[in-house]
């Protein structure tokens, strides 16, 4: 089993980090004073700033640099839309109820937990030491505590292991059968739960005052983007390919969420829908820019063989050897990785895992997840799916809206096909009010049908076609009104429904992984216990600069205030700590918030306007005049320079961090 380590390779202690994150209000359970609600969390000031910095970088990296069309669609969605997309019927988990205490259990998690407990009991009975398995937060379940040491038949052990390996493949009926056949009981009550029923994961509501307008909160931002496809194509002056993008909250009513920030009921997503011509191999015009980016891949075949070996290769090679299906998919994998590294994710804790055929969503043709390694295991943080033409096709079919691209052909082509000619002068008067309906039905006849009807017309002098809502549903048309013949036609345009490549970012999960990846503890200098540090890159850090006056001496105040105002005016967030704690202590308090820079205001500052600037990670300092210090801070905060650059440009400050212990007040 893997052991998680901190940024500096120290053993990782999740409860310690978790308590730090709550204490510094990175996040907090929502409605805690009312007892809280599972799966709902609020971000406090540092979490919120971290989130908005990551979003700002995302927007620059994708929307601005790639010229994407950002839209902001509503979360409220009428039922019909999600019926068409398949979510009303398929976006569900199986749940059981304990008849004794009313507890609601997610069926697959329940089966897994009980079987794993039995297997553990068997090992205990056999005297085999069990190593704690890496947790999978996607399936985070209540562990069965206090397993009994009961030895099982060898055949039973094998059977259980096989069931567990295929747990994702059982539907409700099969899960129910497992519960019955193996007499799986809720350890809390000792009784078998009820047979599994489907529980849709969408939050339902009613839109407007009448009860006949059911709606849901969107489970993804994608549908709103698809519905606007025709308008976006028009906005883009009919140019293909192009992408839309959206940042917003989505909602999933998890049955019993338990993995902290990793499985929540309301979450921020950033989704891109890149529309590409399915013909011509889904090339990407800027593929060349990223073809040398190295990625760590865990492909489907390796997983099928029961392995987790990661292969590192350039994205160019991955596409050319067929590991990654096409350039556009490959392009986005590289761009996703560039984004993740830019915000400070640890490259050694990053991989792309290809979905197995059985785990893909109902619409997906291929899918790679960017997974980040945390103490919960490898976490899916960005999905990159090829949704094929599924969504645009179903919505177009349902609504009749032209969710497709009409492309002018460079050289027109001639095709031979069955054409229908109606005698409009007679046709209208003959069918009267039904004329338009019958005409539409005729025009919609496919080629094979037309061929058969042409024969009917020749043989019988008339044809019969089905027209919903006219007469008894079948309409007769005589040869006086219609002609069907094989003719050649010149075609100037080509129509196609684009395929969609969808990079979909779970921002909350990324933030959590980012925090774990940047966390470490500083040794107990000065007698204090080990202090947590969050080494966020300056552009994502919640606060950029800590202003520290040497003491509470009156002469420091105006300087601190002026610096604070100047930094804010150039868009740099600052905090001032003028408490009586030692300078070292004040800095280390802000290490927990991930503040990358510190300015010390001392007597020399009063005299000559110079300041020391301190780097959080190395605790190295430089000293320069105000203008140079401000310039350095701006460059670091924007990410155009790193500390090593500043160290080369500005003179090091070798003096000790002057500390004046203040004994009168307790910090």
Q: How far is CA 270 from CA 62, 228, 278, 367, 510, in A?
A: 10, 17, 24, 17, 11
Of 539, 544, 542, give the one whose Cα is nearest residue 629.
544
- Edge-first strand listing for the sheet containing 197-200: 104-106, 92-97, 197-200
Q: Tokens 């049908």 belong to which residue? A: 449
In the complex, minimum distance from the CB of residue 298 to a copy of itself, in angstroms, rounded to a whole number:
33
Q: State both tokens at 410.
A: 């460079």
Q: Out of 194, 256, 437, 619, point to the residue binding a copy of itself (CB under 8 A).
A: 256
In the complex, minimum distance from the CB of residue 353 to a copy of itself, in angstroms, rounded to a whole number:
29
563 binding a copy of itself? (CB under 8 A): no
Of 227, 188, 333, 276, give the one whose Cα is nearest residue 501.
276
Residues 162-201 close enough to bind a copy of itself by CB under 8 A: 199
614 binding a copy of itself? (CB under 8 A): no
Residues 300-329 close enough to bind a copy of itself by CB under 8 A: none
Binding mask 393-432 for a copy of itself (x = CB under 8 A): --x--xx-x-x-----------------------------
In the complex, minimum distance from the CB of residue 90 to a copy of itself, in angstroms, rounded to a whole number:
17
Q: Out of 230, 361, 365, 662, point to the residue binding a copy of itself (CB under 8 A).
A: 230
Do you know the residue count of the chain? 667
- The H or E element containing residue 636 is helix 626-638
CB nearer a copy of itself, residue 367 or residue 514: 514
206 binding a copy of itself? (CB under 8 A): yes
Q: State both tokens at 345.
A: 């994710």
Bridge partner list, 431: none
Q: Out of 30, 192, 437, 551, point to the residue binding a copy of itself (CB under 8 A).
A: 30
580 binding a copy of itself? (CB under 8 A): no
Q: Is the peptide bond before 241 cis (omega within 30 degrees of 0)?
A: yes
Q: Out of 5, 10, 42, 307, point to the residue binding a copy of itself (CB under 8 A).
A: 42
CB nearer a copy of itself, residue 63 or residue 622: 63
- Asked if 543 contacts 633 with a C-beta cutoff of 8 angstroms, the reply is no
CB nearer a copy of itself, residue 204 or residue 478: 204
CA distance 343 to 640: 13
Q: Out of 196, 224, 344, 532, point to the residue binding a copy of itself (CB under 8 A).
A: 224
- Look at phi and psi of residue 257 and say left if phi exceeds 0, alpha if psi is from -120 to 50, else beta: beta
Q: How far is CA 634 from CA 102, 451, 534, 539, in A?
A: 58, 72, 20, 10
CB nearer a copy of itself, residue 265 or residue 335: 265
Of 600, 621, 612, 614, give the one whose Cα is nearest residue 556.
600
In the complex, minimum distance from the CB of residue 60 to a copy of itself, in angstroms, rounded to a whole number:
6
| CB neighbours of residue 404 within 10 Å | 17
CB nearer a copy of itself, residue 46 or residue 598: 46
CB nearer a copy of itself, residue 37 or residue 530: 37
Q: How many residues bind a copy of itself (CB under 8 A)?
A: 83
Q: Out of 166, 180, 249, 489, point to the residue binding a copy of itself (CB under 8 A).
A: 249
Residues 49-88 close enough to bind a copy of itself by CB under 8 A: 49, 51-52, 56, 59-60, 64-65, 67, 69-78, 80-81
CA distance 353 to 559: 53
């Amino acid at each position: 089993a893997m052991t998680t380590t901190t940024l500096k390779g120290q053993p990782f202690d999740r409860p310690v980090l978790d308590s730090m994150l709550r204490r510094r209000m990175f996040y907090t359970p929502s409605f805690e004073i009312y007892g809280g609600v599972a799966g709902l969390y609020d971000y406090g000031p540092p979490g919120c700033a971290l989130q908005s910095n990551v979003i700002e970088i995302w927007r620059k990296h994708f929307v601005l640099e790639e010229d994407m069309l950002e839209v902001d669609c509503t979360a409220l969605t009428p039922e019909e839309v999600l019926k068409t997309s398949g979510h009303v019927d398929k976006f569900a988990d199986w749940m059981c109820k304990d008849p004794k205490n009313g507890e609601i259990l997610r069926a697959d998690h329940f089966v897994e937990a009980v079987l794993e407990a039995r297997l553990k009991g068997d090992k205990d009975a056999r005297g085999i030491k069990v190593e704690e398995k890496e947790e999978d937060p996607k399936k985070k379940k209540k562990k069965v505590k206090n397993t009994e040491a009961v030895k099982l038949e060898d055949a039973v052990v094998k059977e259980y292991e096989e069931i567990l390996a295929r747990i994702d493949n059982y539907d409700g009926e099969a899960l129910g059968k497992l519960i019955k056949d193996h007499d799986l009981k809720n350890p809390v009550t000792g009784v078998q739960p009820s047979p599994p029923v489907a529980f849709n994961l969408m939050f339902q509501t009613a839109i407007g005052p009448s009860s006949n307008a059911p709606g849901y909160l969107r489970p993804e931002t994608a549908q709103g983007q698809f519905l606007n496809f025709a308008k976006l194509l028009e906005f883009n002056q009919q140019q293909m390919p192009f992408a839309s993008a959206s940042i917003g909250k989505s909602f999933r009513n998890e049955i019993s969420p338990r993995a902290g920030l990793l499985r929540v009921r309301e979450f921020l997503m950033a989704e891109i829908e890149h529309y590409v011509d399915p013909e011509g191999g889904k090339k990407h015009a800027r593929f060349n820019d990223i073809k040398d980016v190295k990625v760590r891949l865990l492909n489907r075949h390796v997983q099928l063989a029961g392995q987790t070996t990661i292969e590192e290769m350039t994205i160019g090679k991955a596409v050319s050897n067929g590991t990654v299906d096409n350039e556009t998919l490959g392009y986005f994998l590289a761009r996703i990785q560039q984004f993740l590294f830019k915000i400070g994710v640890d490259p050694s804790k990053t991989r792309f895992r290809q979905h197995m055929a059985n785990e893909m969503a109902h619409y997906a043709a291929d899918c790679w997840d960017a997974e980040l390694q945390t103490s919960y295991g490898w976490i899916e943080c960005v999905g990159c799916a090829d949704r094929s033409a599924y969504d645009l096709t179903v919505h177009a079919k349902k609504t009749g809206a032209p969710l497709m691209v009409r492309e002018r052909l460079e050289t027109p082509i001639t095709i031979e096909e069955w054409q229908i000619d109606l005698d409009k002068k007679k046709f209208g008067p003959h069918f009267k009010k039904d004329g338009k309906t019958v005409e539409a039905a005729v025009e919609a006849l496919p080629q094979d049908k037309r061929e058969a009807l042409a024969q009917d017309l020749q043989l019988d002098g008339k044809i019969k076609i089905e027209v919903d809502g006219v007469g008894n549903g079948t309409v007769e048309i005589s040869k006086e009104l219609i002609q069907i013949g094989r003719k050649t036609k010149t075609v100037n345009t080509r129509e196609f429904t684009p395929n969609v490549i969808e990079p979909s970012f779970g921002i909350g999960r990324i933030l959590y992984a980012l925090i774990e990846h940047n966390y470490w503890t500083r040794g107990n200098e000065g007698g204090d216990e080990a202090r947590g540090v969050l080494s966020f890159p300056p552009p994502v850090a919640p606060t950029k600069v800590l202003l520290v006056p040497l003491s509470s001496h009156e002469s420091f105040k105006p300087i601190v205030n002026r610096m604070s105002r100047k930094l804010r005016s150039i868009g740099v967030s600052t905090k001032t700590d003028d408490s009586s704690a030692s300078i070292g202590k004040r800095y280390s308090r802000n290490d927990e918030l991930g503040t990358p820079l510190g300015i010390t205001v001392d007597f020399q500052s009063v005299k000559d306007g110079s300041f020391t600037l301190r780097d959080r990670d190395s605790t190295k300092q430089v000293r320069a005049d105000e203008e140079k210090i401000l310039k350095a801070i701006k460059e670091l905060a924007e990410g155009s320079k790193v500390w090593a650059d500043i160290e080369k440009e500005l003179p090091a400050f070798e003096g000790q961090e002057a500390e004046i212990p203040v004994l009168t007040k307790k910090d």
